[in-house]
Amino acid sequence: MATKAEPPARARGRKAETRLGLVRRARRINRVLAETYPDAHCELNFATPFELLVATVLSAQTTDARVNLTTPALFARYPGPEDLAAANPEDVEEILRPTGFFRAKTKSVMGLSAALRDRFGGEVPGRLEDLVTLPGVGRKTANVVLGNAFDVPGITVDTHFGRLARRFDWTTDSDPVRVEQEIGELIPRKDWTMLSHRLIWHGRRICHARRPACGACPLTRLCPSFGEGPTDEETARKLVKPGPFS
């Protein structure tokens, strides 16, 4: 049961938070989320780094659930980068159609497959600077792959992560690269990947964009944005989306 929180600090006119106070609060939030979501993980299904890379590219502008329904047929027909690079684009488009923007996504996944074949010996590289050279792969996708396929810590700044980071007053920036840098200075590097999962899970389940379930949130005493959504626990509980989302 969520405890009743005080009004947000900024609403009470408290002094500005010190840097040390911000670091301590950020790490406490991470600990509370770890207790709240002990099973947090990447909700894209994959068996290899290549499958995760493709699935992450396909997840743009759609849900992980939709991607998970689509990739089994894709990987059954094209199990590796050499297979996908040599595919008929029209056949790939037909498989990817349910994910939306299927023509652009086909171009990206076939392009990155060709790049893996031609420049990396058919293997997904384990370095961010190499991953971001692949078609359709930015820092967010690269960090997902590094953190979940190679155990290399990375911060994944998707829409949920960015929204929560700003609500927590960890940053005021909307640029994903700046958000990644600023949060990386607050949280130990070893926790970056799991922090990403926890914030994404919390954003999907409780801290929604339009009506966050504030009254049902375990972070009420730590969140300066408490009150953006219903603070009554009974009302807030109705807004909670338990998942899973995969």
pLDDT of residue 15: 66
- pTM (two decimals): 0.89
Cα-based distances in Å from 171 to 162, 163, 168: 9, 10, 8
Is 158 among the residues known to form the active site?
yes
Residues of the chain with pLDDT under 50: 1-13, 246
pLDDT of residue 245: 58
Give the residue among 242, 236, 226 at the shortest CA–CA distance from 25: 226
Domains for the chain: give ranges and CATH numbers: 9-40+155-237 (1.10.1670.10), 49-123 (1.10.340.30)
**3-state DSSP of 177-213:** HHHHHHHHCCCCHHHHHHHHHHHHHHHHHCCCCCCCC
pLDDT of residue 242: 84
Query: Which one of the listed residues 107, 118, 130, 140 is annotated catalytic?
Result: 140
pLDDT of residue 91: 98
Is 140 among the residues known to form the active site?
yes
Residue 224 structure tokens:
């300066």
Are 176 and 162 in contact, with CB atoms under 8 Å apart? Answer: yes
pLDDT of residue 112: 98
pLDDT of residue 12: 41
Query: Which one of the listed residues 158, 169, 173, 191 is annotated catalytic?
Result: 158
